[in-house]
Homo-oligomer: A and B are copies of this chain.
Amino acid sequence: MSEEVKLHGAWASPLSYRVIWALKLKGIAYEYVEEDLSNKSALLLHYNPIHKKIPVLVHTGKPICESMIIIEYIEEMWPHTPLLPTDPYDRAISRFWIKFVEDKALPILGRMFNTMGGELEKAIKESLEILEIVEEHGLEDNKYFNGETIGMVDIAFGSILYWLGVNEEVLGVKLLEPHKFPRLHEWFQSFQEVPVIKENLPDRDNVVAFFKRRRETLEATAA
């Protein structure tokens, strides 16, 4: 069986970038396979028959699905440059925030991209409530969520905030305001300056243009 690592992803997806960041932070060589989400490959459907979603990591021919589960697999398979703390209690706190991002922040980000009118206003309001909770409870006085080095919670939440910024531009609203969320704002600056993150982000203008077109289609279909 080949030892090779393949990542099935999509260029405008925050979840793909999470896996790319983890692989790059650990220096794992991989082959990237771009999926057309409007016409998914037979291989993707074979690898992820239940959710039929990217990202999927294929290692030695075996598929792993769900972005944060892929990253935990990467962490266990290649333990150097750890992305989780070693202490069980600190690991539980990291996992708490990852679950918070997955259960609360990610669905709201999806609703911001896919709703209009009152539903959109509700999603925007809820996104601010999420930011308030993380501002108040998440970072304390640490540089990153796990402490002094970038880790799994930063990857999970960083992807949300980058695409939240895309949403701000598409919708013409400002959400992550520095005076309202000083800790989060500072953290997100540091996060984006980490070389692996900075060098592995999709072109901002392209992503904004992509989601602007999606919104135009959404509005045209609803009209």
Question: Which residues of A are in contact with B by a Cβ distance under 8 Å?
Answer: 49-50, 59, 62, 64-66, 69-70, 72-73, 76-77, 88-89, 91-92, 95-96, 99-100, 133, 137
Contact = CB atoms under 8 A, between A and B. Distances in A.
Contacts of A137: 49-50
Contact of A91 (B59, B73, B133): B73
What is the total number of copies of this protein in its complex? Answer: 2
The list of the 8 closest CB pairs from A to B, nearest first, reads: A76-B88, A73-B92, A69-B95, A64-B92, A77-B88, A73-B88, A69-B92, A62-B89
A144 to B, nearest CB: 20
Interface of A (DSSP majority class):
helix
Q: Which of A59, A69, A92, A133 has the most CB of B within 10 A?
A: A92
Contacts of A99: 66, 69
Nearest to A134: B50
Nearest to A57: B92
Q: Which of A65, A77, A88 has the most CB of B within 10 A?
A: A88
Contacts of A100: 50
Contacts of A133: 50
Contacts of A76: 88, 91
A88 B95 CA distance: 17
25 contacts: A49-B137, A50-B100, A50-B133, A50-B137, A59-B89, A62-B89, A64-B89, A64-B96, A65-B96, A66-B96, A66-B99, A69-B95, A69-B96, A69-B99, A70-B92, A72-B91, A72-B92, A72-B95, A73-B88, A73-B89, A73-B91, A73-B92, A76-B88, A76-B91, A77-B88
